[in-house]
Amino acid sequence: MGDELSVITIDEASRRINGVASRTPLWFSKRLSEQYGASVYLKREDLQEVRSYKIRGAYNLIASLSEEQRKKGVVCASAGNHAQGVALSASRLGIKATIFMPVTTPLQKVARVRAFGGEHADIKLVGLSYDESSKAAQEYCSGKGATFIHPFDDYTVMSGQGTIGKEIYDELGDKIDLVVCPVGGGGLISGISTYLKSKSQRIRIIGVEPAGSPSMYESIKQGKPITLEKIDTFVDGAAVKGAGHKTFKIVQKLVDEILLAKEGKVCTSMIDLYQNDGIVVEPAGALSISALDEISGMNGKTAVCILSGGNNDILRYPEIMERSLVYRGLKHYFMIEFSQKPGELRRFLDSALGPTDDIVRFEYMKKNSKETGPALVGIELAKRDDLKLLMERMDQLGISYRRITHSDVLYNYLI
């Protein structure tokens, strides 16, 4: 709604959202600091009431509306976190909110939107991605005369998200060397970079996008906002086909680098945070930490990673574990041709598998009309290098097999 993003608008937003959005802790991570030889802090936006930073921008915009605009209600589209922010904001301000969400949104997020919005929120599940849901929401909005609350490409929303940068600077000041921020549409990193770069041009701002939905990365690479034809929606909080036009200009000017994190690496970071630190984050929430391996010059520096959200559905953990194992090279799938005679499986178990190799999936149906039959076999390894030894043993035994990779149609069924 606003036409400006600056330190002034961010300071105004900080006052406006006070008492609604929490001033979240800047948590020092001893584990990550030792691992990277730096002072690594985590900005814990997962501890907001709605478990993400989105309440900041949503409330800042909705609270800025005129009485006439409030009477006509608000509309938004979101994969979950922005929807929760809008729902809570509408409930607090007594405004009607119509919220469009993709049908692929985790049930946990849908349920929380209902809980936060109560009688003020009407949820519509439309489309397979944020972009499809957003298109439907904007068409609905124009027909009703309501105000569309954009999740990222709005200066007032960006100002709200920029309050995170203000809080970081208030606490660490000139000690900050770099800030690592997740990127979806670009609203969060636009607000943070605007505030921090105005304080010190020395601060490096690094964005991290999912490798399966690199809309901002490709836009910067091509020098203009682009729309991807196809994306991987696994990192649902940051999976958008097209970055914002306003955010693109800000990111192009202020952000030092955009990195890509593979979805499997994101899953590994989520598991590490849970097992080592007791922190539950959603995929987008782990993006910043997932890229630390790729950042040069961290030794001796002070780095802040934005943990943007903790809305993860417990039903997703089997897939998270699976993707992590595959990424680390510890789980592999094969189609293996077994001779249909007694002892063939025993031969495979005794002679092909190593002492620490484990069969975790086996699907086979005997067909009496054929001499051989294919079996789908999933094998979990103790070490990445064990794959080469396993395949060498199968070759020596003359076993006919084909390893299933991400280019196979079957791979998407398995993972």
Please list the pLDDT of the chain residue by residue as tens digits (415 residues).
668 999 999 999 999 999 999 999 999 999 999 999 999 999 999 999 999 999 999 999 999 999 999 999 999 998 789 999 999 999 999 999 999 998 988 777 788 899 999 999 999 999 988 788 989 999 999 888 999 999 999 999 999 999 999 999 999 999 999 999 999 999 999 999 999 999 999 999 999 999 999 999 999 999 999 999 999 989 988 988 998 999 999 999 999 999 999 999 999 999 999 999 999 999 999 999 999 999 999 999 999 999 999 988 888 899 999 999 999 999 999 999 988 778 888 999 999 999 999 999 998 866 655 677 889 999 999 999 999 999 999 999 999 999 998 778 777 777 6
Q: Tell me how far apart the alpha carbons of residues 21 and 84 are, in angstroms, rounded to a whole number.
A: 12
| CATH dotted code for 55-148 | 3.40.50.1100
Q: Provide the token pair at 347.
A: 């031969």
Tokens describing residue 139: 């068409």
DSSP assignment of 12-45? HHHHHHBTTB----EEE-HHHHHHHTSEEEEEEG
DSSP 3-state of 334:
strand
Q: Do domains 7-51+159-318 and 329-414 have the same CATH topology?
A: no
Contact between 74 and 330 under an 8 Å Cβ cutoff? The reply is no
Q: Please indicate, yes or no, whether the overall pTM of this predicted structure exceeds 0.85.
A: yes
Contact partners, residue 415, CB within 8 Å, separation at least 6: 319, 322, 323, 326, 406
Find out whether 12 and 56 touch, Cβ atoms under 8 Å.
no
Say how many Å lie between the first and final Cα of the chain, rounded.
41
Beta strands in 82-239 (DSSP E): 97-101, 121-125, 147-148, 178-182, 204-210
Dihedral over alpha carbons 244, 309, 312, 245 (to 10 degrees): 0
Residue 307's SS3 state is strand
Radius of gyration of the chain (CA): 24
- Which residue reads 């900005």 in tokens? 43
Could you tell me the fold of the domain covering 329-414?
A: Alpha-Beta Plaits (3.30.70)
pLDDT at 193: 98
The closest alpha carbon to 79, from 312, 317, 415, belongs to 312
Task: Enumerate the domain spans of the chain.
Answer: 7-51+159-318, 55-148, 329-414
Contact present, 159 and 219 (Cβ < 8 Å): no
Angle, CA 24 vertex, CA 19 and CA 25 arms, to 5°: 140
Nearest to 120 by CA among 85, 91, 83: 91
Cα separation, 20 vs 220, in Å, equals 34
**Separation of alpha carbons 131 and 248, rounded Å:** 17
Contact between residue 401 and residue 334 where contact means Cβ atoms under 8 Å apart: yes
- Report the distance separating Cα 193 and Cα 216, nearest Å: 15
Q: Is residue 11 helix, strand or coil?
A: helix
- For residue 130, which amino acid is it? Y
H helix runs in 173-262, sequence order: 187-199, 215-222, 245-254
Instruction: Find the largest Cα–Cα distance for the chain.
Output: 79
Residue 296, Cβ neighbours under 10 Å: how many? 6
Taking the C-alpha atoms of 332, 333, 337 and 339 in order, what is their torsion angle to the nearest 10 degrees?
A: 70
Cα dihedral sign, 118-120-124-128: negative
The encoded tokens of residue 170 equal 């208030």
Give the SS3 label for residue 232. coil
State which fold the 7-51+159-318 domain adopts.
Answer: Rossmann fold (3.40.50)
